[in-house]
Amino acid sequence: MTRIPLLLSAGEASGDMYAARLAQALRQRLDVDIFGMGGEAMRAAGVEVIADYHEVSVVGITEILGHLPSLLRAMRKLLTAAKERRPRLAILTDFPGFHLRLARKMLPLGTRNVYYICPQFWAWRPWRANLVRRRFVEALCIFPFEEEFFRERGVSTKFIGHPLVGVVRPSLSRAEFTAKHRLAPESSVVALLPGSRWAEIARHLPLMLEACRLLEQSTPRQNSFVLAVAPGIDKERLKALFPTGESPLLVEGETYDVLASADAALVCSGTATVEAALLDTPMVVVYRVAPLTARLAKPLVRTKFFAMVNLIAGRAVVPELIQERFTAANAAAELRRVLEPSVTLEVRRGLAEVRARLGPAGAVDRAADAIALLLG
């Protein structure tokens, strides 16, 4: 019997992780031949990676301009492969600027599109949900409030829950982690997660490191700063951003252990904030884009909050420092406050609310079942 061809695409690190787990779940149900765009996780899951997401991963309106050749090259690679293989479905993971265009180009090939991990159109540019209605046969949502948003706009939608629920767990206890990395057991562990894209890291990390220096100067407690290195990021290139003198401990491949062992975290807004919430880690959420991008995007934003944790809770569970509010002094002050026992307890109550709203474990299996149903 001929294997079913499927196109599976992800445009950044978290999407690569989600898509890899979906590929594994689909293989358990169907005899499929999966190809598309992704990275290390999708390759490890047996997906034939036609285009690497590292070439196209970019955030921001003005930042996209410098990546246009890479984006167009990746689009051509995927379309060439799709014309040869004629996939039954194109399963597209978030990354809307690229995937909405790819979905339009797949329709003349007779390929139906499925959105796995819907874009956050409820937060900004909500009218783009109309494009999902016209170009996708199904939208699989990971947050409960998304289902109503998309259905009101005529999109066939299923809420599957968050793929990280039931998956995010540490492999080491705090005592084991601090002993492994020779951290003082009595110190406050502060985790630094500056992002998964190099542009994010270059903007965020210098401010994070300065915030750590200010925190050290202003508190009598001993602190241990640990930087969780994102997959595919060169440690030596990271070190070039460090000021002279002491630097944080760099840890690769142990993000969940870093977060679970931390008393507080400075976290780049995105998937890492959900991971921190699932691990009950008090956090300060930060983010910056290029000034022109911020000015262009401001009229398009439709939400009160920026941090995913606060959006899910519907209130300010954790402090968020976005754009000009993200300064080293503000970050140090918020970290100092979050590390106070009474505030830590209050934040953790809020994180418990967030976890309760993320749905039960098994989201990837529910997504695979929905896709198998579409394939008949």
pLDDT digits (tens, 9 = 90+) for 210-233: 999 999 998 888 899 999 998 888
Residue 113 shares a structural domain with residue 190: no
**Residue 367: CB atoms within 10 Å:** 26
**Confidence at residue 299, expressed as pLDDT on a 0 to 100 scale:** 46
Question: 249: helix, coil or strand?
Answer: strand
Looking at the structure, do residues 103 and 229 belong to the same domain, yes or no?
A: no
Residue 67 pairs with which residues in a beta bridge? none
Nearest Cα to Cα of residue 152 among 124, 121, 174, 178: 121
Alpha carbons 14 and 200: distance in angstroms, whole number? 14
pLDDT tens for residues 7-55? 999 998 889 999 999 999 999 999 999 999 999 999 999 999 999 998 8
**Do 179 and 286 sit in the same domain of this protein?**
yes
Q: Residues 294-335: pLDDT tens digits?
A: 555 554 455 678 899 998 898 999 999 999 999 999 999 999
Q: Does 98 share its domain with 230?
A: no
Distance, CA of 5 to CA of 109 (rounded, Å): 13
**pLDDT at residue 287 in the model:** 93
103 to 154, 263, 269: CA distances (angstroms): 17, 43, 27
Is residue 92 located within the same domain as residue 137? yes
Q: Are residues 159 and 196 in the same domain?
A: no
The token pair at 348 is 């953790």
Q: What is the CATH number of the domain that holds 128?
A: 3.40.50.2000
> pTM to 2 decimals?
0.84
Q: pLDDT > 90: what percent of the chain?
A: 74
Question: Cα(118)–Cα(18) distance, rounded to whole angstroms?
Answer: 12
152 and 180 share one domain = no
Domain that residue 79 falls in: 4-165+359-374
Q: Does residue 1 have a pLDDT over 70?
A: no
Residue showing tokens 């956090």: 283
- Answer yes or no: is pLDDT of 181 > 80: yes
As a whole number of angstroms, the distance between CA 255 and CA 226 comes to: 10
What SS3 state is found at 93?
Answer: strand
Q: How far apart are CA 319 and CA 249, in angstroms?
A: 24
Q: Are 91 and 102 in contact (CB under 8 A)?
A: no
Distance of CA 240 to the CA centre of its chain: 25
Q: How many domains does the chain have?
A: 2
pLDDT tens across 94-129, in order? 999 899 999 999 999 999 999 999 988 876 678 889
- The answer on 257 and 186 residing in a single domain is yes
Residues 184, 156, single domain; the answer is no
Residues 131 and 257 in one domain: no
- 71-94 per-position pLDDT tens digit: 999 999 999 999 999 999 999 999
User: Please, which residues have CB within 8 angstroms of residue 274's CB and are 6 or more apart in sequence?
Assistant: 162, 164, 308, 309, 358
- Give yes or no: residues 34 and 182 share one domain: no
Statement to judge: residues 147 and 258 lie in one domain: no
